Structure 1
Amino acid sequence: MSQPVRIVIVGGGIAGILLATRLGDQLGRSGRASVTLIDSSPTHIWKPMLHTIAAGTRDVQQQQVIYLAHARDHGFTYQPGAMHGLDRSRQLVQLDELRTPEGEVVLGPRTVGYDVLVLSLGSRANDFGVPGVKEHCHFIDSQKQAEAFNAALRARVFRSVAKDESLRVAIVGAGATGVELSAELSRLLDVASSYGDPTVRERLNLTLLESGPRVLAAFPPEISASSQSQLEHIGFRVLTSARVTAAEANGFRHGDGTLVEADLMVWAAGVKAPDFMNNLDGLETNRSNQIVVGASLQSSRDDHVFALGDCASLTLAGHERQLAPTAQVATQQAEHLARHLPGWLAGKPLADFSFRDFGSLVSLSDYNAFGTLGRFGLFRGGFIRGRFAQLSHAMLYRRHQQALHGFRKATLLWTAERINGLVQPKIRLT
C-alpha cells in the first residue's frame, strides 16, 4: 500500500493556517495525504491585528488560535519549530533546536521530510542596515514582539504617571502598521484616562516618521491626505520625506542629523522575508528574500516547492510590479492552492492564480477609517470613510475567522468576544 503524500506547510500565518485547514479537511481526514503545519509559535494571530495587541486594546487570549487544537479539529498535524534551511535533493526541511522560554533545550536540530513543500513564512520589517535599529527598536511582526512592546509600553505609561513626565513614542514607517499603531496608542490612553489619571492622554508625545513623500504610500493620495490630517488632528507629529540615518538609545536621527527624542521606538518600515530564505538551497529569490514563483505559485526552480503570501514574489502577466504583501493576496493564494492542489496530486495541471482586487482599508482605531473598494464587488472603485469603512475593516477579520472555523463557531467566538467586552476592562492593565 502506497504511503500518503507528505504535504508540509511552513509558517502558520494567514495563508499557512488557512491552507492547512482546507487541505486537512479535504485530504488529511481521508488519509489521502498527511498535512503538517510547522510554526515557531504555538498560536496564530491574524497579522493585521498585531498593532492592537501591541497597544493592549484587544485581548490576545480571545483572538489567538492554538495550532495543536485547531490541527486536531481539521485533520492535520502541527509541529513546533523554526525553519533555518532546506535540502531539496533529499526533500527535507531543516529546523532549529527547540527551547523553552527559559532557554532549556527541548529538542535538538531536526528535519521533516516532504513530498510537497509550501513556504508561507510571512514577512517582517526591513531595517535596511540602519545603525542601531536592531539594538534600540521594537518590531511588531509577531505575537511575541507585539506582547513585548505592550509590556514595555505599560511600564512606560506607569512611569509617566508616577513621575509626572511625558511619554515620547517615535514610529518609523507610515504604512498601515505604523499609522494604525499610532491611532491605537491614542485610543489606549484615552481609555486609560478613566483609570486614575485623567491627564494621561495628554502625556503622549508621538512622532511618525516616513521616508517617502506621504503616509500610506500604497493607498490613493486622497486616503494618505485624510489619514495624515486625522493623525495630526489627534495631536501627533507626522514627518514625511524624513530618512532615518540612525537609531540611538534616546531617539532617531534623521535628515541633517536632527534627533527625534523618544522613550519607546518602533521600526515598522520596509518588508522582507526571513534572512535565511535568501537563495534558499538554490531557489530563486529577490533582494527582499522572497521566493520567485510563477502563476501556479510553484517556485521557478522546483515544482514541488510552493510559496504563498508575503514570502513569495509573483508578478502577474501584464503587470509591471509584483503583488503587494497584503492579507488579501495571502488569503486568495491559499484559497487557490487549496482548490487546485488535490487535483495536481492526482495528475491534473495546476490552474494559474488570478488576483481579484477588492480594495484596501485602513482603520485609525475609533477615530476614523478610510478605504477603496477595488475593481470587484459592490460600489467598485469607490472611496469610503467613517463608520462604513470601520465596519468593512472589522469584517475582514470576521471573514478570516469564518474561513478557519466555519460560520457557527466563528459566530460563537464573536458572541463570546462581545460578552467579554461588557465585563472585562477595555484595555490591558496588567
Structure 2
Amino acid sequence: MSEAVPKIVVVGGGAGGLELVTKLGKKLGKKKKAQVTLVDNTHTHIWKPLLHEVAAGTLDSHEDEIEYLSQAMCSGFRFRLGKMDGLDRQNKKIMVAPTYNEDGLEIIPRRTFDYDYLIISVGSVSHDFGIKGVRDHCLFLDTTKQAEFFQNQLLESYLRAHTQGRPLDEGQLNIAIVGAGATGVELCAQLYEVSHLLNAYGLDEVKPQDVKLSLIEAADRILPGLPENISAAAHEELNELGVQILAGERVIEVTETAIKTQSGRDIPAAIKVWAAGIKAPEFLKDIDGLETNWMNQLVVKQTLQTTFDDDIYAIGDCCACKWVGQDQNVPPRAQAAHQMASLVYKSIINRMKDKELPEYHYHDYGSLVSLGRYGTVGNLMGNLSKGSMKVEGLMARLMYLSLYKMHQVALFGPFRVMMLSLSHLFRRSVHPKIKLH
C-alpha cells in the first residue's frame, strides 16, 4: 500500500466504532484509498444492550459475538488487539498498552500507531461516584467478561442453594440492583425469568419465590430518563413480577452483605449489581490537552471533531455533544452512536474530497425497554411526539428486536442477517432457553 494514503484509526469496537470501521473499510480500505485500522482491547464484539441477557444467562454471548479479525477480513480494515492509554497529538500517534495473557505473561509489547484521522469510540464504564464499598462488593455489566462473570456467580449461587441440604439462609439468594435505568429494569425482568427456568431445568430445591429481587433508584421513579407514562408502565409490570422497587433511595455505602441508603435502609443482598451511572474511561480525562467534562467525555463540536483538534473525532458514550434544540447533551444511547458513526463516515469521505463537513443533529426515535417475555414498553419518535406516543406489547417487542437487526444489517448486509436470523430460530428449537454452565 502506498504511504500516501491516509491512515484512519478507530479506537473502540462498540456499536458505533464497529459500524464506522466496517463502512470505511468497505469504501476505502478495500480500494486501497486509505489504511483503516480498528484498535480494541478484546477479540470480539457484542451489542452492549444485550449484556443484561448475557448476565442473566438467557443469551449465550458465544453465539452472538462477532470476531474482530473475521469482520476485518471481510470488510477491508485491519484489527489490532490492545488498549489505548496515551495520545501524542503533535506527532499524530496513539499509544497502546502491552497485552498480557491470563498467566500475566506479555504476549504483545507496547506499541504506537500513526494516524491522519483518529476516531475515539471507547464507550463508557460504570460510575461509582466514589461511594464506599461499591468497587469491592458490586458486580458491573460494562463488558462481556463482566456479564459472563455475573452469570457464573448467579449459577453457582443456585447450585449451592440447591445442594446444601438445609433451608436457605436469610437473604442467601437476594439480588439487589442499584440503578433503575434501562439496564437495571431489563436485568430485573430477565432474572425473574431465570428463577423459573432454573427451577424447570431441575434445580427444584430452589423455588422462584426464594429469589428476592430489589431495584434501587435515587430518583423518585424508575427509568427517570424516559417519559413518566413509560416509567409507570414498567413499574406496574415489575410490581406484578414481585420486584421490590425502592425509588428515592440514595445509596451511601455497600457492604459484603447489604446496601445502605441515606434514609437509613439496610437492603440485604448476596449479589449486588451496580448500574447507577456511567462515565467515559479514566484515561481520556484531559488526554494530551483535549477538552473533557466531569464524566471524562471528550467535548466535541457539531461536526463531532474535538474542540481542540480537528483531526480527532469522538462518537458514542465517550463524547459530549450538544443536543441541538435541547438544554442537554446527546444521551448515551445505541441509536446516537449509530447516527454518529454515519456522520463521521460522511465527514471523512468529504474531507478526502475537500468538501464541506456535515453537522450532527441527533434524532430521537424513542426508547424501548424490554421486560423479557413479560412485556416491552416504550415511546416512539421521542422528541417529535414529546414522549407521548406510547407503545407496548407485541408491537413494542418487535420494534425492540428490530434495533439489533439494524445494527447487524450495518455490519453484514440484509442477506447475511436474514440467514443469521433463520439460524437463530433453528438453534432456539434445540438449545436450552438458558445457559446452564
Structure 1 399/376 Cα, relative in aligned 2: closer, same or farther at 3 Å?
A: farther
**Match of 2:21, SS?**
helix
**Superposed displacement of residue 113, structure 1:** 1.1
1:79 is aligned to 2:80 = yes
1:252 to 253, 259, 272: 259
> 1:208-263 deviations in whole A, cap 9, x for unaligned?
10011110011100111111111111111010111101111112111243221111
Q: Distance in 2 between the 1:274 and 1:9 partners?
A: 16
Q: Distance in 1 between the 2:158 and 2:249 partners?
A: 27
1:121 is aligned to 2:127 = no
Q: Distance in 1 between the 2:406 and 2:348 partners?
A: 23
Letter in 2 for 1:151: N
**Superposed displacement of residue 2, structure 1:** 4.8
**Superposed displacement of residue 318, structure 1:** 3.1
Q: Distance in 2 between the 1:239 and 1:375 partners?
A: 27
Q: Distance in 2 between the 1:377 and 1:130 partners?
A: 38
Q: Distance in 2 between the 1:2 and 1:135 partners?
A: 49
| Alignment match, 2:373 | 366
**Superposed displacement of residue 375, structure 1:** 5.2
Q: Distance in 2 between the 1:13 and 1:276 partners?
A: 17
| Alignment match, 1:222 | 229
The TM-score with structure 1 as length reference comes to: 0.97
Quick check: 257-266 or 216-225, which moved more?
A: 257-266
2:391 to 384, 390, 400: 384
> 1:4-28 deviations in whole A, cap 9, x for unaligned?
1000000000000000000000000
Q: Does the CA-based 8 Å contact 1:192-1:200 persist in structure 2?
A: no
| Alignment match, 1:142 | 143
Q: Structure 2 matches for 1:165-180, cutoff 5 A?
A: 165=168, 166-180=172-186
**Match of 1:353, SS?**
coil
Quick check: 257-266 or 239-248, which moved more?
A: 257-266
| Alignment match, 1:98 | 99
Q: Distance in 1 between the 2:9 and 2:207 partners?
A: 49
**Superposed displacement of residue 98, structure 1:** 0.2
Q: Distance in 2 between the 1:16 and 1:407 partners?
A: 20
> 1:152-204 deviations in whole A, cap 9, x for unaligned?
11101111222342511011000000010111011112212211144532221
Q: Structure 2 matches for 1:319-330, cutoff 5 A?
A: 319-330=326-337
| Alignment match, 1:203 | 210
| Alignment match, 2:342 | 335
Q: Structure 2 matches for 1:35-114, cutoff 5 A?
A: 35-114=36-115
Identity percentage over the alignment? Answer: 38
**Match of 1:167, SS?**
coil
Q: Structure 2 matches for 1:3-14, cutoff 5 A?
A: 3-14=4-15
> 1:12-64 deviations in whole A, cap 9, x for unaligned?
00000000000000000011101100111100000000000010001211110
Q: Does the CA-based 8 Å contact 2:121-2:315 persist in structure 1?
A: yes
Q: Does the CA-based 8 Å contact 1:53-1:59 persist in structure 2?
A: yes
Residue segments in structure 2 that go unaligned for 5+ positions in a row: none
Paired positions, count: 430
Letter in 1 for 2:179: G
Q: Distance in 2 between the 1:52 and 1:258 partners?
A: 29
Q: Distance in 2 between the 1:137 and 1:399 partners?
A: 33
**Superposed displacement of residue 273, structure 1:** 0.3
Letter in 1 for 2:57: G
Q: Does the CA-based 8 Å contact 1:374-1:381 persist in structure 2?
A: no
1:191 is aligned to 2:197 = yes
1:397 is aligned to 2:398 = no
**Superposed displacement of residue 270, structure 1:** 0.8
> 1:70-120 deviations in whole A, cap 9, x for unaligned?
000000000011111111111111111101123211122221111110000
**Match of 1:232, SS?**
helix
**Match of 2:311, SS?**
strand
| CA RMSD across the alignment | 1.6
Letter in 2 for 1:386: G
Structure 1 371/108 Cα, relative in aligned 2: closer, same or farther at 3 Å?
A: same
Quick check: 327-336 or 195-204, which moved more?
A: 195-204
> 1:322-369 deviations in whole A, cap 9, x for unaligned?
000000100011012112311212211211112222111001111011
Letter in 1 for 2:189: A
Q: Does the CA-based 8 Å contact 2:45-2:66 persist in structure 1?
A: yes
Q: Distance in 2 between the 1:229 and 1:371 partners?
A: 14
Letter in 1 for 2:80: Q
2:273 to 243, 266, 278: 266
Structure 1 410/129 Cα, relative in aligned 2: closer, same or farther at 3 Å?
A: same
Structure 1 52/60 Cα, relative in aligned 2: closer, same or farther at 3 Å?
A: same
Q: Structure 2 matches for 1:227-242, cutoff 5 A?
A: 227-242=234-249
Q: Distance in 1 between the 2:185 and 2:363 partners?
A: 25
Q: Distance in 2 between the 1:114 and 1:359 partners?
A: 36
